[in-house]
Chains A and B, each alone.
Chain A
Amino acid sequence: MSNSLTDIRRAERYVTGKMAEEDSLVFEARMLVDPTLRANVHFLQKTFALLKLYNRRKLKQEAEAIHQRLFNDPHKQDYRDHIFQLFKR
């Protein structure tokens, strides 16, 4: 296994909170003296924050697909009428 793979595995465990407390302390000590590692961990945290947003977007797309289906299904006429009724002014 390459060094970079070992590093990313370790950083992943740290960022996702899967690392034992003792190991976390060692890891944090390494970060203090290693600016590259510190930057990598920072950007990995940012990666997970972005993944969360990506996941939300995908979920919203799934909701939109259901919306399209419900609002085009001939059997859902009553449901639609009920909703549209609310916006009649």
Chain B
Amino acid sequence: MELAIDIIKQQQLSREQYFEHLYGSAFPKVAAFVSKMNGSFDDAKDIFQDALVIFFEKIEEGKVVINTSEEAYVLGIAKHLWVRKYKQDQRLVSFDRVESGIEIPADEVPDVNTLRLLRVLETAGKKCMQLLRAVYYEKISIKNVTNRLRYRNEHTVSVQKYKCLEKVRDTVKSKSMTYEQFLN
């Protein structure tokens, strides 16, 4: 089966174009499902966006073999998310064979301390988080990172990557200890 992601990769289209494509093909399916479960438009939007993110992450990690269409796979993820989010009886949602085999990452719903830490990093460590995301998740070349995040040169970026890992790690360390003390 020809998948949109392969076409996107061949033609070097952007992630944005891919998301837009899936918005067109998969959102109507997810919305129909959510509506059937008596959910609202906003529920559909939220569940669909989370499903899209998980789907994309699975593709990027190379962990998924899609033996159905992409929109069917996204719908499958959305169904699992629905059951998890509303703690609904799984039997009320009909899963086909492919859908029942889909796994949702365990860290999909982070705990309170993790969320608090994430907020700290998003504000105080923004530049480092951007750089590390670009390198490890968006897999952008050092050269392109240099241009995009306006670093002086490629060497700066290579060094900065490690400095950022150290900096974020130290924040995580000190904050984790504070929260743990707070709990005790």
Using a CB–CB cutoff of 8 Å, the interface residues on chain A facing chain B are 4-5, 8-9, 12, 16, 39-40, 43-44, 46-60, 62-64, 66-67, 70, 79, 82-84, 86-87
A51 close to B137 (CB less than 8 A): yes
Residues of B within 8 A of A40 (CB): 169, 173
- Bitwise, B49-84 to A at CB < 8 A (1) or not (0) is 110111011000000000000000000000000000
Q: Which of B151-183 contact A (CB under 8 A)?
A: 159, 162-163, 165-166, 168-170, 172-173, 176
B114 close to A53 (CB less than 8 A): yes
Q: Which interface residue of B32, B56, B110, B169 has the most chain A CB atoms within 10 A?
A: B169
B137 close to A52 (CB less than 8 A): yes
Total count of chain B residues near the partner, CB < 8 A: 46
A54 close to B122 (CB less than 8 A): yes
Contact partner, A87, options B19, B41, B159, Cβ 8 Å: B41
Contact partner, B165, options A12, A70, A83, Cβ 8 Å: A12
Contact partner, A60, options B24, B40, B41, B49, Cβ 8 Å: B49
Q: Which interface residue of A9, A48, A86 has the most chain B CB atoms within 10 A?
A: A86
The reply on B35 being an interface residue by CB < 8 A is: yes
B165 close to A58 (CB less than 8 A): no
- A-B pairs, top 10 by smallest CB distance, nearest first, are A55-B137, A86-B35, A43-B173, A63-B49, A59-B53, A87-B41, A47-B169, A8-B162, A43-B169, A44-B169
